Copies of this chain bind each other. A is one copy, B any other.
Amino acid sequence: MTITIIGMGLIGGSMALALKDNGMADQIIGVENNPAHAAKAIELGLADKIESLDLAIEEADLIILAIPVNVAEKLLPTLLGKINKQVVMDVGSTKNTICTIIKNLSNKGRFVATHPMWGTEYSGPEAAVKGAFINKATVICNKENCDADALALVEKIYQSIGMHLIYMEASAHDLHTAYISHISHITSFALANTVLEKEKEEDAIFELASGGFESTVRLAKSNPEMWVPIFMQNKENILDVLNEHISQLRKFKSCLEKDNEDYLRELMVKANTIKRIIK
């Protein structure tokens, strides 16, 4: 099978590695606007060749859209207008907008909306990771809108790279990801800015910061070109959870201001119950 990947970055590149590795792809064609990324994708063996969009569509059996969500939503109508029997899937972190857009497009049954739940704070072809998706979950949204063969192919692709499938309605996906992914990114960006604002002795951060700080702040290294559109597309859900988060932080603040050790302990004991849910 020939697989075209539009966007040879963190996710596109990691998918390329996985699909070459397991033999699902006889050939990976990369589409990449950034010439440096295009060259790097070839150098790293992520793509067998880089082609123009039109050629890459024509030659493909499967087309994977792995570009920022705002670019994907603009490209999708054009893309679906150019395909014949190819299957198109996206891998974006928001699903409601793209699933709404697709409703009025011809060939809409060829499109499968997905979100593999894996990523790192790094971006570009050099960020691609071997074996990235093994034992992770992938979400497939609004599958009832897909042609049966298109859905079956995408399911097979994800299973072949070691992922288990979760089916969800697009708006439910966006709600849940606001809670368990998007808010983590907001808090991490804000925490980095807090520390950069307060700590004027950068050497002290560098010398003293231990694992705890690094793990809470690492998402602050994430690429704005990818994350600004995600936050904007999912802003209603994110605002809702962000308001709750600020109110939770205010509870901690009030405990410290009022020397209320009992309530502080209670808040922390409650937070400890997250152990039940994450490993």
> C-beta contact mask, A135-159 vs B, less than 8 Å → 1, else 0?
0110100000000000000000000
Tell me the smallest distance from the CB of A271 to a CB of chain B, in Å. 4
B192 touches A271 (CB 8 A): yes
B181 touches A272 (CB 8 A): no
Residue A36 at the chain B interface, CB threshold 8 Å: no
B275 touches A221 (CB 8 A): yes
With A246-B246, A259-B232 known to touch, is A181 a contact of B212 (CB < 8 Å)? Answer: yes
Q: Output the residue of A119, A176, A243 with the most chain B CB within 10 A.
A: A176
For A274, the chain B residues whose CB sits under 8 A away are: 192, 195-196, 217, 220-221
A218 touches B220 (CB 8 A): no
Tell me the smallest distance from the CB of A230 to a CB of chain B, in Å. 11
Among A222-249, those with CB < 8 Å from B are 222, 224, 227-228, 231-232, 235, 238-246, 248-249
- CA A181 – CA B206 in complex, angstroms? 12
Binding site for B on A (CB under 8 A): 117-121, 136-137, 139, 166, 176-177, 179-181, 183-199, 201-202, 204-222, 224, 227-228, 231-232, 235, 238-246, 248-253, 256-257, 259, 261, 264-265, 267-279
What are the nearest 5 A-B pairs in CB distance? A224-B268, A192-B271, A192-B274, A215-B215, A189-B271
30 contacts between A and B (CB under 8 A): A119-B212, A120-B211, A176-B204, A179-B204, A180-B209, A180-B210, A180-B213, A181-B213, A187-B187, A187-B216, A188-B216, A189-B252, A190-B245, A190-B271, A194-B241, A194-B248, A195-B241, A196-B271, A198-B240, A209-B277, A212-B219, A217-B274, A220-B274, A222-B268, A224-B268, A224-B272, A231-B256, A235-B256, A235-B259, A246-B246
